[in-house]
Structure 1
Amino acid sequence: MKTLGHWLTSPWRRSTVAAVVGALPVLAFPAPSLWWFAYVALVPWILLVRGAPTGKRAAHDGWWGGFGFMLAMHHWLLPNLHVFTFVIAALLGALWAPWGRLVRRLLGGEPTRGRVAAALVVVPSGWLVIELVRSWEGLGGPWGVLGASQWQVEAALRLASVGGVWLPSFLVVALNVAVAVLVAVPRARVPAVACLVATAAAASAAWVFSPRPDPDRRVRIALVQPGVVSGRDSADRRFDREERLTRELVGQDVALIVWGESSVGFDLGARPDLARRLAALSRETGSPILVNVDARRSDKPGIYKSSVLIGPDGPTGDRYDKMRLVPFGEYVPARSLLGWATSVGEAAGEDRRRGSRQVVMDAGDGLRIGPMVCFESAFPDMSRHLAEDGADVLLAQSSTSTFQQSWAPEQHASLAALRAAESGRPMVHATLTGVSAVYGPGGGRVGTWLGTDASAARVYEVPLAHGTTPYVRFGDWPLHAALLVLAVWGVTEAVRLRRSARGPLVPPARTAHGSPARPGR
Structure 2
Amino acid sequence: MKSLGLWLGSPWRRSAVAGVAGAVPMVTFPAPALWWLAPVALVPWILLARGAPTARRALYDGWCGGFGLVLAVHHWLLPSLHVFTFVIAALLGALWAPWGLLIRRFLGGSPSPGRVGAALLVLPSGWLMVELVRSWQGLGGPWGMLGASQWQVGPALRLASVGGIWLLSFLLVAVNVAVAALIAVRASRVPAVAGLVVTAAVTSAAWAWAPRPEVDERVAVAVVQPGIVAGADSADRRFDRGERLTRALVGREVELVVWGESSVGFDLVDRPDLARRLAALSRETRAEILVNVDARRSDRPGIYKSSVLVGPDGPTGDRYDKMRLVPFGEYVPARALLGWATSVGKAAGEDRERGTEQVVMEGGGGLRIGPMVCFESAFPDMSRALAEDGADVLVAQSATSTFQRTWAPEQHASLAALRAAETGRPMVHATLTGVSAVYGPDGARVGSPLGTDASAGRVHEVPLADGVTPYVRLGAWPVTLALLVLACWAVAEGVRTVRLRRNGPEPLVPPVRTARGWPARPGR
Q: Structure 2 length normalisation: TM-score?
A: 0.96
Correspondence 1:370-449 to 2 at 5 A: 370-449=370-449
Q: Quick check: 1:93 aligned with 2:93? A: yes
| 1:136 pairs with 2:144 | no
Tell me the distance in 1 between the aligned counterparts of 2:394 and 2:325: 19
Shift of 1:498: 2.1
Identical-residue share of aligned pairs (%): 77
For 1:2 and 1:48, how far apart are their aligned partners in 2? 14
Q: In angstroms, what is the RMSD of aligned CA positions?
A: 1.1
Name the SS for the 1:3 alignment partner. Answer: helix
Query: 1:206, 1:140 → 2: CA distance?
Result: 31
Letter in 2 for 1:212: R
2:286 corresponds in structure 1 to: 286
User: Which deviations, in whole Å up to 9, do the C-alpha atoms of 1:455-487 show, x marking residues without a partner?
Assistant: 000000000001010000000110111111111
Give the Cα separation in 1 of the matches to 2:39 and 2:373: 31
SS of residue paired to 2:143: coil
Aligned to 1:518: none
Residue of structure 1 equivalent to 2:112: 112
Q: Secondary structure at the match of 2:23?
A: helix
SS in 1 for 2:267: coil
Mapped to 2, the partners of 1:385 and 1:456 lie a distance apart of 31
1:477-496 matches, within 5 Å, as: 477-496=477-496
Amino acid at match of 1:496: R
Structure-to-structure mapping, 1:197-212, within 5 angstroms: 197-212=197-212
Match of 2:241 in 1: 241
CA–CA distance in structure 2, aligned partners of residues 248 and 229 of structure 1: 19
Task: Give 2:473's aligned amino acid.
Answer: R
Structure 1 position 262 matched with structure 2 position 262: yes
The TM-score normalised by the length of structure 1 is 0.96
Matched, 1:78 2:68: no
Supply the AA of the counterpart residue of 2:106: L
Q: Distance in 1 between matches of 2:72 and 2:44?
A: 16
Aligned counterparts, 1:326-337, within 5 A:
326-337=326-337
Instruction: Please tell me the residue identity of whatever aligns with 1:200.
Output: A
Cα drift, residue 506 of structure 1:
7.6
Write the distance in 2 (CA, Å) between the matches of 1:504 and 1:314: 79
- Where 2:420 maps in the other structure, the secondary structure is helix
Report the Cα offset of residue 216 of structure 1.
0.1
Q: Structure 1: which amino acid aligns with 2:292?
A: N
Query: Is residue 2:456 matched to residue 1:460?
Result: no
Residue identity opposite 2:16 in structure 1 = T
Mapped partners of 2:139, 2:260: distance in 1: 25
Which residue is 2:42 aligned to? 42
The residue number in structure 2 matching 1:341 is: 341
CA distance in 1, matches of 2:506, 2:185: 34
Match of 1:519 in 2: none
How far residue 209 of structure 1 moved from its aligned partner, in angstroms, is 1.0
After the TM superposition, which residues 107-186 of structure 1 pair with which residues of structure 2 at under 5 Å, given as runs? 107-186=107-186
Letter in 2 for 1:128: L
What does residue 217 of structure 2 align with?
217
- Residue of structure 2 equivalent to 1:512: none
Matches of 1:371 and 1:24, distance apart in 2: 34
Tell me which residue corresponds to 2:309: 309
User: Residue type of the partner of 1:389?
Assistant: D
Whole-angstrom distance in 1 between the partners of 2:470 and 2:284: 42
Structure 1 residue 501: deviation in Å?
A: 2.7
Q: Distance in 1 between matches of 2:267 and 2:37?
A: 46
What's the counterpart of residue 228 of structure 2? 228
Q: 1:280 to 1:330 in 2, by over 3 A?
A: same
Q: d(CA) in 2 for partners of 1:179 and 1:36?
A: 14
- Whole-angstrom CA distance in 1 between matches of 2:2 and 2:52: 18
1:387-416 C-alpha deviation (Å, 9 max, x unpaired): 000000000000000001100000000000
Letter of the structure 1 residue corresponding to residue 108 of structure 2? G
Amino acid at match of 2:236: D
Cα 1:195–1:506 change in 2 (3 A) is closer
Give the drift of 1:309: 0.3
Offset, 1:191: 1.1
Q: 1:190 aligns to what SS in structure 2?
A: helix
CA offsets, 1:405-464, max 9 Å, x none? Answer: 100000000000000000000000000000000000010010111000000000000000
Shift of 1:500: 2.0
Runs of 5+ consecutive residues of structure 2 not aligned to the other structure? 508-524
Aligned length: 507
CA–CA separation in structure 1 for the residues paired with 2:2 and 2:178 = 29
Please give the per-residue CA displacement for 1:91-127, whole angstroms capped at 9, x wherever unaligned.
0000000000000000000000111000000000000
